[in-house]
Amino acid sequence: MPRRQLHLADHAERLQAALDAIHAELHVPTGFPSAARAEAARAASASPRPDRDLTEVPFVTIDPPTSMDLDQAVHLSRDGRGYRVRYAIADVAAFVSPGGPIDVEAHQRGVTFYGPDRRAPLHPLELSEGAASLLPEVDRPALVWDLRLDSSGSLISTGLTRSRIRSRAKLSYGDVQRDLDNGAADDMLSLLPEVGRLRQEQERVRGGVSLPVPQQVIVVQDGRYRLEYDAPLPVEGWNAQLSLLTGMAAAAVMREGRVGIFRVLPEARPQDLARLRRTAKALHIHWPEETSYADLIRSLDPAPAAHAAFLNQAATLFRGAGYDAFDGGVPSRAGHAAIGAEYAHVTAPLRRLVDRYGLEVCAALVEGAEVPDWARAGLPVLPDVMAETGRRAGAYEAACVSLIEAAVLTGRENETFPGVVVDVSRKDGRGEVVIEEPAVRGRVRGDDLPLGEDVTVQLVEASIEERRIAFALI
């Protein structure tokens, strides 16, 4: 599921206290057991060095400017009339002993937890922001995907080797976009929009769609909270296509080898699409009946607040995502509806447990070796582990979103707002309403709530501490 990105731009004591309460209530991990820290220190000092040397390849990383947990490094080149994509992924398995303290803790966390003011990493910082991270100008062990594309951007061959690499630069999305726009990007980075656009066209043809979820930013101005949106840059979409390409290549390797774990997503339920259509109406986004969800998403500009809010709400269609592990037989329904293809998570092992397993399976299959016993034995339980840890991370994210949306309405009790009722419970007459400005969703009570219709609602409650917004139908 695309992650809704939240950021607290200004220090606000009341918000900070409420965020602290969420951490305590949901038992968000803090720190690591001493045994895990000790193992991380030992593993970091050992500095694994694979025999295969690819340090001459000028890889770079492209991430948000403050990121230090760098999973991926990329190098692009022309390959005849096509392209060569080398995508290096941090070799976390080189540092983590199966069944050891770090591994046990990683199975408890499953993913890195992201909040507006902090994050709880999957691995100790000695690894995730140190020895295992693909930081610049230091040798690092990596699993390097060697993907050859034809002139249309279609994948024609896949390689994967455990190698030693050295990233040349830690670049930010803003830096790369600025250089591309100014014509200052080098030959390698100049291929990123070219390959990215070809892959986006491939996505369109196969019926997939990428969701450019903007970052929600809460700022304090004149004693009140305001919600803003930072739209993603085009380079973020092109870079994401490289990750998707790698995940699809990994799924193909797993299918051929008849062992692995797919990321799966069923088609969106009609009722969820109908609710999203009502959200579009509330935000005054025109969605013709004949226009598909994918085509609508591609037509939106994430910069305007209404479009940004809709894209954040659209992420709810991904709630049915899960994992399907297999060994000896491939699942019959193994596709990912949003991607429009079979897909596996293998590009973020520093931040997602399942990727470490997927990478080890693929590395063995490509090399014609046996899948490591620990990886094979762990596959059957991974879907449940990731479902439970994903549920916890999702609850944390949802609580933070509710807090922020309540904050922007604090002090506006008794004001009225135009909106649209997007959902109604048949049991108790409660529903949900989306208002346009600020673009938030809240509970609404009233007799015979008119589903899908324009309404006027009065704000009854906006509680930061309870993370609750309540409206009454006028």
* Phi and psi, residue 69, nearest 5°: -90, 85
**Spatial separation of the C-alpha atoms in residues 256 and 442, rounded to whole Å:** 47
Query: Looking at the DSSP assignment, which residues form a beta bridge with residue 456?
Result: 418
For the stretch 128-148, pLDDT in tens is 999 999 999 999 999 999 999
> One-letter amino acid identity for 215?
Q
pLDDT band of 242, cuts 50, 70, 90: very high
Taken in order of first residue, the domains within the chain and their CATH numbers are 5-266+320-406 (no CATH), 270-306+410-474 (2.40.50.140)
Q: Which of 159-168, 283-292, 370-379 has the lowest mean pLDDT?
A: 283-292
The answer to whether the CB of 162 falls within 8 A of the CB of 143 is yes
Tokens of 158: 């896949």
Return mean pLDDT, the chain: 91
Q: Give me the pLDDT at residue 5, please.
A: 54
Q: Give me the pLDDT at residue 428, please.
A: 67
Q: Which of 1, 48, 107 has the alpha carbon at shortest distance from 336?
A: 1
Comparing 13 with 191, which gets the higher pLDDT? Answer: 191
Average pLDDT for 89-114? 96
Angle at 412 between CA 407 and CA 418, to 5 degrees: 100
Query: Does the pLDDT at position 375 exceed 90?
Result: yes
DSSP structural state of residue 316:
G
User: Cα separations (Å) of 404 from 85, 116, 224, 396, 440?
Assistant: 40, 9, 12, 12, 10
Average pLDDT for 227-237? 87
| Number of other residues whose CB lies within 10 A of the CB of residue 236 | 20
pLDDT band of 426, cuts 50, 70, 90: low
The answer to whether the CB of 474 falls within 8 A of the CB of 457 is yes
Query: Does the pLDDT at position 427 exceed 70?
Result: no
Comparing 424 with 226, which gets the higher pLDDT? Answer: 424
For the stretch 307-328, pLDDT in tens is 888 888 888 787 789 999 999 9
**Spatial separation of the C-alpha atoms in residues 355 and 470, rounded to whole Å:** 40
Q: Give me the pLDDT at residue 211, please.
A: 85
Beta strands in 337-473 (DSSP E): 341-342, 416-424, 430-435, 440-445, 454-463, 468-473
The kind and range of the H/E element at 83 are: strand 82-90
